Amino acid sequence: MNAKASQELILRKILEKNQATEYLNKFMNGSTDISAFKSQVPVVTYDVVQPYIARIAGGEESSILCGEQIVELLRSSGTSRGEPRLMPSISEDLYRRTYLYSLIMPIMSKYVRGLGEGKAMYLLFVKAETLTNAGIPVRSVLTSYYKSPHFLQRKHDLYNKYTGPDEVILCPDNKQSMYCQLLCGLVERQRVLRLGAVFASAFLRSISFLEQHWCDLVNNIRIGQLSSNITNSTCRLAMESFLAVPDPELADEIKAICSSGSWKGILGRLWPNVKYIEAVLTGTMAQYIPMLEFYSDGRIPLVCTMYASSESYFGVNLRPLCSPKDVSYTILPNMAYFKFIPLEDGLKLTEEDEVVENDKLVSLVDVKVGCYYELVITTFSGLYRYRVGDVLQVTGFYNRAPQFKFICRRNVILSVDTDKTNEEDLHNSVTSAKKILEKRNCLLLEYTSCTDTSTLPGHYVLFWEIKSTCEGTTPRAPLDAQLLESCCIAVEQSLDYVYRRCRTHDKSVGPLEIRLVETGAFDALMDLLVNQGSSINQYKTPRCIESGPALKLLNSRVTSSFFSPRDPEWTV
């Protein structure tokens, strides 16, 4: 109701706390005047903040950016010049995140009865973390949350009780953690009322893992003993109570379900009391909806509850049972100070390096239904008029707080899990692989890409049209396999940190594939797109093709395909 007052209060508090920082001082000379902030503090991208973050990471005082101690740097999945972006975070941010989480169950309980009578099998994982030179932890926002007292000392009522013990969630080995969490969910299958993970990709990966390992899991239940593959001692200890006695009856039930042909609708059979599946299914995660519908046979509601990022948490879905394609998030006016860059001509994006005039910005309460905006935030932890990079469309208001549909993240063209690859990253990676081709007298004439999520985990696919500069028009077999596999490796090796982590450590992205297409395939693609309305003068090969006739055309002209034979290098 009081969105406007709430936003003003937030901004006042942020300025009071941070007025003395080097960053704000540069623009406001120590003033806390709101109008000075609005007129003098520029809209920025990460490149402007990065030098401050680097100085803090190297040991300088947090006060150059933030009035409070920066206690951790949150590694976001966005990249800047190939490096992961690190977002400053202060202790009280955990309270804001907890506040948003604490709204989810009351919202869900308005629509679904009896959620307090059972448990949730939410598959939650932590990621590896490091320390900066100055000893500041660098971790993902979810890892930070699961390791915090806000999560570990949460009130243990059934609304926030998960089948997997906290020790298992915190296991650094994601595979062992996944195995144990699935085992717990199977042991308690009749009590499970909710299924989910943070992202749809992680949930589906776990179901595919279950498909591969159900025999072992069933066996563990049958004999009351945990597989010896689980070597993490904390996990083993935490799992003792789940397998206290052999349960051949339960093992038989699960075996019968898992071995009876198709896995269509398996989720409802394994967890017969489940009321919904929760995961982020908007944005790039929408590609997983068909797969989830397959495993649930379209009978279990798919619920997206929240919209958040490493920079700040943003909002909640107040109509959680709506179809995933209709999800809107109501931005919580007490999370941060929000501004919006209006996108002209519908979806025309402002270039990242283009100066955005301050008077162009629209306040949270003044956005217009139907219009598109890019999100800009000011936080307590040291981001001032920072462009998050997300494009949103206003769909309505909840009292005075606007509701937004997530449209896209600017620039991201490929994403399978938490990886987000933009056109520039892809181009640089392809360029490094191109050099290998050129050494072997082959030229890369054209390329485009797509994600293939028909396999689990999904993977990146590059369509390449190659011309040999010596004999013939295509490179000779059997050189091809070795050559193209080394190209796959080179592309992957040049993709960013998060991609390589997903590939190597999380195993949430499969090996990259290069599909060679026959000569003329990209000309045919141009003809198709021009026929569909692209201007021939301004035609540029799209660097990513999501679906439809264009993808069909390229796939119909594939002559051979090659996969990366090994994981790219990645270190924490």
Contact between residue 316 and residue 334 where contact means Cβ atoms under 8 Å apart: no
Q: Which is nearer to ligand AMP, 147 or 409 (CB)?
A: 409
The DSSP string of 499-522 is HHHIIIII--SPPPEEEEE-TTHH
CB of 201 to ligand AMP, least distance (A): 12
- Contact between residue 333 and residue 3 where contact means Cβ atoms under 8 Å apart: yes
Q: Cα(409)–Cα(309) distance, rounded to whole angstroms?
A: 12
Side chain identity at residue 565, one-letter code:
P
Nearest approach in angstroms of CB 196 to ligand AMP is 13
The C-alpha atoms of residue 11 and residue 96 are separated, in whole angstroms, by 15
Give the chain's radius of gyration (CA, Å).
25
* Sign of CA pseudo-dihedral 268, 272, 274, 279: negative
Among 195, 304, 331, 489, binds ligand AMP (CB under 6 A): 304
CB contact at 8 A, 167 and 181: no
Q: How far apart are CA 50 and CA 59, in angstroms?
A: 14
Residue of this chain nearest to ligand AMP (CB atom): 283
CB of 121 to ligand AMP, least distance (A): 20
Q: Is residue 222 within 8 Å of 247, Cβ to Cβ? A: yes
CB of 284: closest distance to ligand AMP in angstroms? Answer: 7
Instruction: Decide whether 413 or 516 has the Cβ nearer to ligand AMP.
Output: 413
Residue among 32, 77, 89, 201 that touches ligand AMP (CB under 6 A): 77
Q: 252 to 281, contacts with ligand AMP by CB under 6 A?
A: 280
Residue type, position 305, single letter: T
Question: Which of 43, 141, 171, 341 forms a contact with ligand AMP (CB under 6 A)?
Answer: 141
C-alpha pair distances (Å), 482 with each of 310, 426, 449, 488: 40, 22, 21, 10
Please identify, among the stretches 7-15, 304-312, 342-350, 478-486, the one whose residues bind ligand AMP according to the rule CB under 6 A.
304-312
Stretch that binds ligand AMP, among 176-184, 301-309, 353-361, 528-536 (CB under 6 A): 301-309
Minimum CB separation from ligand AMP for residue 75, in Å? 8
Say if residues 514 and 484 touch (Cβ distance below 8 Å).
yes
Kindly state whether residue 330 participates in binding ligand AMP, applying the rule CB under 6 A.
no
Query: Over the range 133-147, which residues count as b (16 or more CB within 10 Å of their CB) and which as e?
Result: eeebbbbbbbbbbbb
Nearest distance from C-beta of residue 408 to ligand AMP, angstroms: 8
Taking CB under 6 A as the criterion, the residue among 46, 145, 276, 307 binding ligand AMP is 307
Measured from the CB atom, the residue of 409 and 515 that comes closer to ligand AMP is 409
- If one asks whether residue 283 binds ligand AMP (CB under 6 A), the answer comes out as yes
| Closest distance of CB 303 from ligand AMP, Å | 11
Least spacing, CB of residue 356 vs ligand AMP, in Å: 18
Beta carbon nearer to ligand AMP, 258 or 388: 388
Q: How many residues bind ligand AMP (CB under 6 A)?
A: 16
Binder of ligand AMP out of 163, 177, 282, 448 (CB under 6 A): 282
Tokens of 159: 């609304």
Q: Which residue has the tokens 């809209």?
A: 43
d(CA 549, CA 534): 14
Residue 308 found at the interface with ligand AMP (CB under 6 A): yes
Backbone angles phi, psi at 88, to 5 degrees: -70, 145
Looking at 49, 204, 388, 450, which residue binds ligand AMP (CB under 6 A)? 388
Q: How far apart are CA 1 and CA 3, in angstroms?
A: 6
The smaller minimum CB distance to ligand AMP, of residues 62 and 309, is found at 309
Q: Is 379 in the site for ligand AMP (CB under 6 A)?
A: no
**Binding to ligand AMP (CB under 6 A): which residues in 389-428?**
390, 406, 409, 418
Binding to ligand AMP by residue 383, rule CB under 6 A?
no
Q: How far apart are the first and last CA of the chain?
A: 45
Q: Do 389 and 353 contact (CB within 8 A), yes or no?
A: no
Going from the C-alpha of 154 to that of each of 147, 158, 557, the distances in angstroms are 12, 11, 55
In the list 76, 328, 449, 494, the residue contacting ligand AMP (rule: CB under 6 A) is 76
CB of 198 to ligand AMP, least distance (A): 9
Where does this chain bind ligand AMP (CB under 6 A)? 76-77, 141, 280, 282-283, 304, 307-310, 388, 390, 406, 409, 418
